[in-house]
């Protein structure tokens, strides 16, 4: 595994060095020239194209940093205006927006660094491995013609003049190789970290991005809680409240009838009692919709278990929680699970569902898996309004939702909400 | 018959005391919190306890927990749990020891005094009284359940009433059939659920338990 990683690092480094050097130089020169030519007018057209190319390239490298070295680099760019105006005004606006974005200049700095320090750092893993081959090959006799032609040949710091020094070179090469095997993955990580210095958002930009996200999720939270209040008001108004009014009227009539027509009064009493039972049922359902009793009494784990028992298909629940999260988090998680389970029961055609709830690394993690036919719409791609609702609900707590649902199944919905257990 | 009553809402507690006294029960104690309930159950050893799920000071499921603890200390201590809502999860916990003498009802069942008092008596006598809502939840989702699917519609009806804790006579009365017919149905049910012949009363509890447990597979 270690050897494989090291070899992989070498190959990737080589690719990064060669491809990176060429692309970085090309893009850097093109962008700088474009920006200079803005004065001449040509730049107005070419700058947005060049900058976008730089961004696409930087995004690719961000992806590689994560995939190859586990270094996550968030994207810092300001969102582009939804519909840029046509003509010269639009071009000017685009250029101004792009040039005002600090990330554009940081990208250019990164290109400059990537083609210098970056290239060297990327070449190192490959070079170390190449020495591993080159040293022994030299010692096998290849040194003879080279020395004969050029005199002393320097294998890094070893001057090769005869078989003995050639052997020494081979040993050094093997040494380099071993060092390479050990440090190559770290070199790749270093390379990614170096890129991250300039490719990730500045502290200021990071805060701005976070504020944007929070504003959005606050809007969602306010909207959904307002909608919820309207629903509760309507349910109370049309349901329990109406039944209580009916009951009051029945009781009034009974009062008048009780002596004149006891039989009729008795019938009305029975009706009034039925009304009160109905009102209670409706209130109970309403309470369950706002804050499920088991959730209040026992917390998330048992609430999900109780929920599973009410599902029309077998649900296996596995809970590992050392305490209780805050009430709003528990509630959001509960309703998210409820929605996902309802979806699974309604649409997936699953015969079995598994729910796994646990807390790790400061996050509440919930996975709901079913063995249905899959093909669930991703949130936000139309059709998936239920999932979108969950995403918004979780978003208010900085939580995230991921859906994996290939055609043919299985569907797996995972949720993660940062929180502490108390 | 001596009753210990635990209910934190004064009006309901008062109403329950009146109701039970009207039906010739002796109220040994009427308490309003979990710790008081635990103490009363340990000291007074009542014939039956009527307990609200949610009790102070925690206002969670303290009443249920006290009842379960008391039943662990005194196996078979009859407990009737009342709740604003009924959950299979809780029903299962109450029935888990299989010793009978438990009930779990919605609070509104108190509206029908005769039925409620009947339930208290059944529980005190070692029987069960499960709320029809718990049972109907179970029956409505048991389609996929093979042992359940093998029951005939009539047997399901009998099962439903039996799970509520009714006697053969009461079931016969309700379904307008003879008691012998009910006895035949119940023994068919026991056979289909794989319950060997033994003490008949206990088998009724086990049948309900078998139901609830099958819910656990799901």
ipTM of the complex: 0.75
At A9-26, the pLDDT tens digits run: 888 888 888 888 889 999
Asked if residue A305 belongs to a domain, the reply is yes
In terms of DSSP H, where are the helices of chain B? Answer: 10-22, 34-44, 62-73, 88-95, 113-124, 132-140, 146-149, 153-164, 168-175, 179-192, 200-217
C-alpha R_g of chain A: 34
**Cβ-based neighbour number of residue A88 at 10 Å:** 11
Asked if residue A337 belongs to a domain, the reply is yes
Contact A311 B108 (CB under 8 A): no
Residues A245 and A175 placed together within one structural domain of the fold: no
Contact A309 B87 (CB under 8 A): yes
The number of domains in chain A is 3
Our CA-based measurement puts residue A362 at a distance from the nearest CA of chain B, in whole angstroms, of 26
| CB contacts < 8 A (A, B) | 49
Give me the CATH number covering residue A227.
Answer: 1.20.5
Q: Percentage of chain A with pLDDT > 70? A: 97
pLDDT classification of B217: cutoffs 50, 70, 90: very low
Please state whether beta strands A363-370 and A353-360 pair in parallel, antiparallel, or not at all (unpaired): antiparallel
Cα–Cα distance measured from residue B163 to residue B94, given in angstroms and rounded to the nearest whole number: 14
The span from the first CA to the last CA of chain A, in angstroms, equals 41
* Number of residues that make up chain B: 218
The CA-based angle A305-A308-A309, given to 5 degrees, is 95
Cα–Cα distance measured from residue A309 to residue B92, given in angstroms and rounded to the nearest whole number: 11
Residues A285 and A352 placed together within one structural domain of the fold: no
Q: Please give the mean pLDDT across all residues of chain A.
A: 85
Contact B218 A315 (CB under 8 A): yes
User: What pLDDT was estimated at residue A300?
Assistant: 94
Report how many helices (DSSP H) and strands (DSSP E) chain A contains, helices first.
14, 7
At A206-229, the pLDDT tens digits run: 888 888 888 888 888 888 888 889
**Which of A287, A309, A315 is opposite residue B89, by nearest beta carbon?**
A309
B57 CB near a chain A CB, below 8 Å? no
Our CA-based measurement puts residue B89 at a distance from the nearest CA of chain A, in whole angstroms, of 6
Asked if residue A209 belongs to a domain, the reply is no
Residues A224 and A175 placed together within one structural domain of the fold: no
| Chain B contact set for A287 (CB, 8 A) | 84-85
| Chain A contact set for B141 (CB, 8 A) | 310-312
Asked if residue A206 belongs to a domain, the reply is no
At B23-63, the pLDDT tens digits run: 999 999 999 999 999 999 999 999 999 999 999 988 889 99
A54 CB near a chain B CB, below 8 Å? no
User: What pLDDT was estimated at residue A121?
Assistant: 85
Instruction: Sort residue A164 into left (φ over 0), alpha (ψ -120 to 50) or beta.
Output: alpha
Cβ proximity of A336 and A402 under 8 Å: no
Cβ proximity of A188 and A68 under 8 Å: yes
Contact B218 A293 (CB under 8 A): no
Check pLDDT > 80 for residue A87: no
Between positions 167 and 206 of B, the ones with CB within 8 A of A are: none
Residues A36 and A109 placed together within one structural domain of the fold: yes
Quote the domain boundaries for residue A33: 1-201
The sign of the CA dihedral A411, A350, A369, A227 is positive
Asked if residue A208 belongs to a domain, the reply is no
What Å distances lie between residue B98 and B49, B103, B127, B212, CA to CA? 18, 12, 11, 12
Cα–Cα distance measured from residue A112 to residue A26, given in angstroms and rounded to the nearest whole number: 11
User: What pLDDT was estimated at residue A312?
Assistant: 81
Our CA-based measurement puts residue B86 at a distance from the nearest CA of chain A, in whole angstroms, of 9
Residues A245 and A283 placed together within one structural domain of the fold: yes
Full-model pTM: 0.69
Q: What is the DSSP letter of B50?
A: E
Residues A174 and A194 placed together within one structural domain of the fold: yes
pLDDT classification of B201: cutoffs 50, 70, 90: low
B87, closest residue in chain A (CA to CA): A306
User: What pLDDT was estimated at residue B215?
Assistant: 45
């Amino acid at each position: 595994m270690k050897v494989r990683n090291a070899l992989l690092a070498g190959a990737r480094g080589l690719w990064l060095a060669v491809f990176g050097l060429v692309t970085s130089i090309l893009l850097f020169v093109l962008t700088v020239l474009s920006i200079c030519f803005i004065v001449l007018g040509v730049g107005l057209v070419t700058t947005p194209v060049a900058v976008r190319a730089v961004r696409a390239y930087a995004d690719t490298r961000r992806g590689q940093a994560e995939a190859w070295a586990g270094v996550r680099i968030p994207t810092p760019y300001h969102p582009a205006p939804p519909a840029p105006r046509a003509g010269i005004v639009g071009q000017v606006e685009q250029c101004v927006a792009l040039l005002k974005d600090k990330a554009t200049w940081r990208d250019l700095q990164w290109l400059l660094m990537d083609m210098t320090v970056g290239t060297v750092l990327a070449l190192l893993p490959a070079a170390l491995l190449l020495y591993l081959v080159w040293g022994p090959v030299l010692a096998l006799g290849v040194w003879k013609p080279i020395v004969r032609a050029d005199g002393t040949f320097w294998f890094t710091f070893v001057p090769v003049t005869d078989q003995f020094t050639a052997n020494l070179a081979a040993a050094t090469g093997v040494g380099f190789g071993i060092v390479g095997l050990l440090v190559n993955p770290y070199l790749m990580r270093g390379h990614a970290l170096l890129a991250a210095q300039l490719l990730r958002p500045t502290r200021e930009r990071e805060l701005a991005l976070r504020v944007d996200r929070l504003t959005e999720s606050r809007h969602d939270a306010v909207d959904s809680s307002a909608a919820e209040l309207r629903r509760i008001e309507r349910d109370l108004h049309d349901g329990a409240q109406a039944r209580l009014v009916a009951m009051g009227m029945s009781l009034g009539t009974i009062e008048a009838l009780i002596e004149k027509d006891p039989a009729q009064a008795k019938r009305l009493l029975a009706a009034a009692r039925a009304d009160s039972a109905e009102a209670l049922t409706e209130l109970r359902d309403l309470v369950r919709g706002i804050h499920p009793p088991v959730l209040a009494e026992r917390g998330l784990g048992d609430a999900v278990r109780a929920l599973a028992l009410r599902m029309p298909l077998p649900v296996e629940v596995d809970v590992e929680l050392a305490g209780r999260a805050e009430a709003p988090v528990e509630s959001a998680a509960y309703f998210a699970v409820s929605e996902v389970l309802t979806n699974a029961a309604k649409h997936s055609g699953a015969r079995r569902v598994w729910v796994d709830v646990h807390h790790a690394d400061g996050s509440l993690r919930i996975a709901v898996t079913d063995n249905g036919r899959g093909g669930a719409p991703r949130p936000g791609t139309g059709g998936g309004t239920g999932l979108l609702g969950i995403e918004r609900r979780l978003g208010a707590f900085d939580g995230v939702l991921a859906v994996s649902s290939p055609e043919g199944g299985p569907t797996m919905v995972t949720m993660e909400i940062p929180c502490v257990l108390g | 018959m001596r009753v210990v009553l635990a209910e934190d809402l004064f009006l309901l507690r008062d109403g329950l005391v009146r109701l039970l006294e009207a039906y010739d029960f002796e109220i040994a104690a009427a308490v309003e919190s979990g710790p008081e309930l635990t103490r009363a159950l340990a000291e007074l050893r009542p014939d039956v306890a009527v307990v609200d799920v949610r009790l102070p000071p925690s206002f969670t499921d303290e009443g249920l927990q006290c009842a379960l603890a008391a039943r662990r200390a005194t196996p078979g201590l009859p407990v009737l749990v009342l709740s604003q809502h009924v959950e299979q999860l809780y029903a299962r916990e109450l029935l888990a020891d299989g010793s009978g003498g438990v009930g779990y009802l919605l609070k509104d069942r108190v509206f029908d005094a005769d039925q409620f008092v009947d339930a208290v008596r059944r529980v005190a006598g070692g029987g069960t009284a499960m709320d029809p809502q718990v049972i109907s939840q179970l029956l409505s989702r048991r389609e996929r359940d093979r042992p359940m699917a093998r029951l005939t519609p009539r047997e399901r009806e009998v099962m439903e009433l039996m799970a509520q804790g009714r006697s053969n006579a009461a079931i016969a009365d309700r379904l307008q059939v003879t008691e012998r017919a009910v006895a035949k149905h119940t023994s068919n049910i026991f056979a289909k659920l794989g319950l060997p012949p033994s003490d008949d009363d206990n088998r009724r509890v086990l049948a309900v338990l078998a139901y609830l447990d099958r819910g656990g597979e799901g």
